[in-house]
Amino acid sequence: MRRFSTPIGTSRLWPIAVVSGHRRPAPTSLPTHGEVPMPRRTLRRTIAAIGVIALALSSAPAVLAGPVDPTPRNLNPKDAVDRLAPITPGRLAVNAKAAGSWTLGTYAVSLNATTGLLRVTDSRINADVWSNVPGQSFIVGSMSQLKIYEDQGAFYPEVKRSQTLSDQTIATVASGSGTLTFSGTIAKGKSKGTTWSMTLGTKMLDDSVEALTADITTGKIGRNPLSSVLVVQALMPDEAVHGFGSQYRAYDLSGTLFPIMVREQGVGRGEEPISGVINGVEPGGAGTLANTYAAWPTWLTSGSRAGRVIGAGEFSFGTVDLRSGNSLNLEMRSPRVQLQLVAGSSPADAIKRRDAALAIPGTADWTSRGAIVGLQGGTAEVRKELQVVLDAGAKISAVWLQDWVGRRTTNFGDRLWWTWQLDRQWYPGWETLVDDLEKQGIKVLTYVNPMLVDPATKTPAPTRNLYKEAASKGYFVKTAKGQPYLQDQGQFSAALIDLTNPSARAWFVDIIATDVLGGKVAGMMADFGEGLPYDAVLAGGSGAQLHNQYPRLWAETVREACDKAGKPDCAAWMRSGTQGSAEDAPMFWAGDQMVSFAIEDGMPSALYGIQSSGASGWPLMHSDVGGYTSIAYIYDRGPELIPRWSQMEAFGVFMRTHEGNQPRFNLQVYSDDTQAKGFAYGTRIYAALGDYRRTVIAEAVDTGMPAMRHPSLVYPGTAAANQDNTFFLGDHLFVAPVMAAGQRTIDVTLPPGTWVHALTGVEYPGNTTQTVDAPLDQATAFVLKGDPVGDQIRTALKAAGVAR
Catalytic residue numbers, as ranges: 527, 530, 592
Eight-state DSSP code of residue 516: I
Distance between CA 291 and CA 270 in Å, rounded?
Answer: 11
The residues near 228 (Cβ < 8 Å, ≥ 6 apart) are: 141, 142, 144, 316, 331, 332, 333, 334, 335
Whether 422 contacts 439, CB under 8 Å: no
Burial of 30 (0-12, 13-18, 19+ CB in 10 A): middle
| Other beta carbons within 10 Å of 345 | 13
Rounded to an integer, what distance in angstroms lies between the CA atom of residue 184 and that of residue 170? 5
Beta-bridge mates of residue 629? 594
Euclidean distance between CA atoms 601 and 289, whole angstroms:
9
The amino acid at residue 553 is: L
Q: What are phi and psi of 588, to 5 degrees?
A: -125, 160
Report the DSSP pairing between strands 624-625 and 656-657.
parallel
Number of H helices and number of E strands within the chain?
A: 14, 51
Beta-strand ranges (E) seen in 152-193 are 154-165, 167-170, 172-175, 180-187
- 37 burial via Cβ count (<10 Å: 0-12, 13-18, 19+): exposed
Residue 575 DSSP label: S
SS3 at position 411: coil
Residue 291: which residues within 8 A CB-CB, separation 6 or more?
Answer: 154, 263, 264, 265, 266, 269
State phi, psi for 616 to the nearest 5 degrees: -105, 0
Task: Give the span between the Cα atoms of 707 and 714, in whole angstroms.
Answer: 11
Cα separation, 296 vs 260, in Å, equals 6
Residue 86 CB: number of other CB atoms within 10 A?
15
Length of the chain: 804
**CA separation, residue 760 to residues 352, 392, 682, 748 (Å):** 34, 22, 15, 16
167-170 and 154-165 beta bridge pairing = unpaired
Burial 729-767 (b: 16+ CB within 10 A, else e): bbbbbbbbbbbbbeeeebebbbbebebbbbbeeeebebe
DSSP-derived letter for residue 98 is G
Q: Give Dmax over CA atoms of the chain in angstroms.
A: 83
Tell me, what amino acid is at 265?
Q
Q: Which of 726, 638, 737 is nearest to 685 (CA)?
A: 737
**Gap between the terminal Cα atoms of the chain:** 40
Give residue 91's identity as a one-letter amino acid code. Answer: R
**Contact assessment for residue 475 and residue 550, using Cβ atoms and an 8 Å cutoff:** no
Cβ(295)–Cβ(261) under 8 Å?
yes
With CA atoms as reference, report the closest residue to 387 among 682, 29, 676, 627.
Answer: 676
Q: Residue 297: which of 336, 266, 340 has the closest Cα?
A: 340
The Cα–Cα gap between 464 and 148 comes to: 36
Instruction: Read off the DSSP letter of residue 140.
Output: E
Q: Are 18 and 631 in contact (CB under 8 A)?
A: no
